[in-house]
Structure 1
Amino acid sequence: MTHGKVFRKLGFWTIGAIYFLILVGGIVRATGSGMGCPDWPKCFGSWVPPTDISQLPSNYKEIYGEKLKGEIEFNAVKTWIEYINRLVGVAIGFLVFGTFVSAFVSFRKQDKTIVLLSLLATILVAFEGWLGSKVVSSELHPVMITLHMILSVIIVFVLLYAVARSYNYVIEIEDIADKSSLSFLVSAAIFLTIGQVLLGTQVREIVDQVANSMGEALRTEWVANLGGKFQMHAFFSIVIVIINLFIYYRIKKSVENKGLLTTFANWLVIIIGIELLSGLSLAYLGFPRLMQPIHLTLGTLAIGVQFVIFLFLNKERVFRSIASK
């Protein structure tokens, strides 16, 4: 099934690209470049943004000043960081559409669910682009930013489900004892991790407020002024580490022959471990800018791996229409 192989490869590339976009979006946020392009879909009224202030009209401060949140001086670095973020988003749109075309060619007769899931991902990506314009027009409203990120996770879920279904044709997923309780545990881990990521976005807002009030000179003291939400975020990080380690232990204990399920369990522990280290570095090293987008990306990546494990644990229900053919 050559076309199915193409679909799976393209699906993985697309999912990887979405995670890369989440990383780039985190860089946009960490560098304060969200309003680097104050208009949409153009940037400073042009499809290719300026690289120097001389390329802007003399009255650009009056035109864009209100949307730049007081930073009315043109900053080429921030402008291009935001512009690259948009270009990556456009590229992902083409990738997702290509995934849909590949799914249609490969599975329109064998499994229409894969085709419909790929079509849904294409529609959601288009909606995500529209939502991105609303993030700009709302001047980076926290609720819009959070919705934008949640939709990215949903798109990843849809694509992971489609790719996982396609694998049922070519590879066996190992069986595991007492799947129902483990499946419930993984579901709880998914919801907890999503909640933790959303709580992290709120903590990020508080960090911005503390940074503005205390300044860069007191960066190492920011953490002491973040309040209850940060402490709650820290507490739940411990809970999430424990629950994921227990998932890993249960899978390793219950599976004799290694396969996809154990591979993803290994990756889950690795990702959660690095995520914990990145969180500790943020808390104790004065919130290094580069670590902020890495921390966010690792959190969403962990959710994706948890979701794949959930799909494999529930393969009889997930792939029911395939088994009946």
Structure 2
Amino acid sequence: MRKLINQKNFLRINAITLGSVFVLILVGSIVRVMGAGMGCPDWPKCFGSYIPPTSAEGLPENYQDIFKEQRLTKNERLANMFSKLGYEELSKQITNDPNVLVEHEFNATKAWIEYINRLVGVLIGLLVFLNMVLSFSFRKKSIWIPFMGVAIFILTGFQGWVGSLVVSTNLLHGFITFHMLLALLIVALLIWMNVMVRDLSTIKHRPLFIVGLLTTLLFIPQIILGTEVRGVIDDLLISSSGRNEWADYLSTNFYIHRSYSWLILIGVVSMNYYARKTKEQWLISRTIQLIILVFLAMIAGIAMVRFDFPYWIQPLHLIFAVGIFSLLFYLTLRIKLVK
């Protein structure tokens, strides 16, 4: 057993788990682009079944009213909880937002797209559980390793619950943003575990540490802005307007998000400048990769607007963003202010 749970095997499971989270983020983005986020109006079942129906024939005639009532009942409990916690505005939004009251017709394709998304989530849950169990083998190296393994497992379960709220509130923007931030937190903890198990060396470089940490912190609001812009696009997806008109409806957040990207680019270019002073080739290579990822994300963002928001570019834009965050966080762990 001891031979089975060695560093190499754990790192393999950890890497597979991290990669699967990336896949789930990509699949989730595709689900949203296809307008299939509400392909299953209930959770964890889909139209009352653990396997989605292939047609509406087996559903009651008033199935829309039935599932709408289920969602509203759940939302009422959720609103009461937030009200008791002092979040009155959010509580009112959950119960009064007109978009929450909209019910979608059955669509077999969208139901199965959303169902596949959920299956991928279940698979990741199993990998996260295995990652947690194996992490206890490294408790003597650092008690933080199994602690993070347990935290990731709990956060993954919590993420599943938040996913159910995304469905019950009919893709309410705030919950989608929170859903995304939780995914990034799980990604960050998986990377942190990987670095700790490998016991990677760190570099002391004050300017590089400050610029790297600042760029990482600045990138989080950029992710939030991007998620909010994505929410506006989701609304346009179900409207009657053509894709060539979407740019006219984008909110102020879009223009802030677009301009903000230059700040991130300045940050990663500055990181490359200081990395070259360390003469550490791996660090120089990683900062070059960061610059390339930022450029690709910017190009994808421009292409979305220029080419009327093609389906395939939007998921790529998100994956580039997640890649930037992951690499920024990884480098922040490898660079220290002091020894």
What range describes the TM-score normalised by the shorter chain of this pair? 0.7 to 0.9
How high is the TM-score relative to the length of structure 1?
0.87
Aligned counterparts of 1:9 and 1:215: Cα–Cα separation in 2: 47
Equivalent residue, structure 1, for 2:213: 187
Equivalent residue, structure 1, for 2:172: 141
The alpha carbon displacement at 1:208 in A equals 3.9
Q: Does 1:4 align with 2:7?
A: yes
Equivalent residue, structure 2, for 1:320: none
Q: Does 1:242 align with 2:256?
A: no
Q: CA RMSD in A?
A: 2.2
Structure 1 letter corresponding to 2:328: Q
Which deviations, in whole Å up to 9, do the C-alpha atoms of 1:161-189 show, x marking residues without a partner?
11111111xx555x46xx22211211221
Unaligned runs of 5+ in 1: 318-325
The alpha carbon displacement at 1:98 in A equals 0.6
Equivalent residue, structure 2, for 1:88: 120
Equivalent positions of 1:89-108 (< 5 A) are 89-105=121-137, 107-108=138-139
The alpha carbon displacement at 1:65 in A equals 5.5
Q: Does 1:28 align with 2:31?
A: yes
Which deviations, in whole Å up to 9, do the C-alpha atoms of 1:202-246 show, x marking residues without a partner?
222333445566612xx2232134242221111111221221122
How high is the TM-score relative to the length of structure 2?
0.83
Instruction: Please point out which of 253, 278, 284 is paired with 1:255.
Output: 278
Equivalent residue, structure 2, for 1:120: 151
Instruction: Please point out which of 234, 244, 253 is paired with 1:229.
Output: 253
Contact 2:207 2:274 in 1 (8 A): no
Which deviations, in whole Å up to 9, do the C-alpha atoms of 1:110-144 show, x marking residues without a partner?
22211111111111111111111111122211111
For the residue of structure 2 that corresponds to 1:48, the secondary structure is: coil
TM-aligned CA distance change 1:315 to 1:92, over 3 Å = farther
Instruction: Please point out which of 272, 275, 280 is paired with 2:302.
Output: 280
Instruction: Please point out which of 4, 17, 21 is paired with 1:18.
Output: 21
Equivalent residue, structure 2, for 1:44: 47
For the residue of structure 1 that corresponds to 2:50, the secondary structure is: coil
Contact 1:6 1:102 in 2 (8 A): no
Aligned residues: 307
Aligned counterparts of 2:175 and 2:103: Cα–Cα separation in 1: 21
Q: Does 1:207 align with 2:238?
A: no
TM-aligned CA distance change 1:119 to 1:13, over 3 Å = same
Aligned counterparts of 2:165 and 2:104: Cα–Cα separation in 1: 21
Residues 1-10 or 294-303, more deviating: 1-10
Instruction: Please point out which of 303, 306, 310 is paired with 2:328.
Output: 306
TM-aligned CA distance change 1:152 to 1:71, over 3 Å = same
Unaligned runs of 5+ in 2: 72-99
TM-aligned CA distance change 1:212 to 1:121, over 3 Å = closer
The alpha carbon displacement at 1:265 in A equals 2.1
Equivalent residue, structure 1, for 2:94: none
Which deviations, in whole Å up to 9, do the C-alpha atoms of 1:3-44 show, x marking residues without a partner?
111111111111111111111111111111111110111111
Structure 1 letter corresponding to 2:208: L
Instruction: Please point out which of 196, 209, 212 is paired with 2:222.
Output: 196
TM-aligned CA distance change 1:172 to 1:70, over 3 Å = closer
Q: Does 1:269 align with 2:291?
A: yes
Contact 2:209 2:335 in 1 (8 A): yes
Aligned counterparts of 2:184 and 2:104: Cα–Cα separation in 1: 33
- Aligned identity (percent) is 37
Which deviations, in whole Å up to 9, do the C-alpha atoms of 1:54-111 show, x marking residues without a partner?
3433442332357696564311111111111111111111111111111112x12222
Equivalent residue, structure 2, for 1:321: none
Structure 1 letter corresponding to 2:109: V
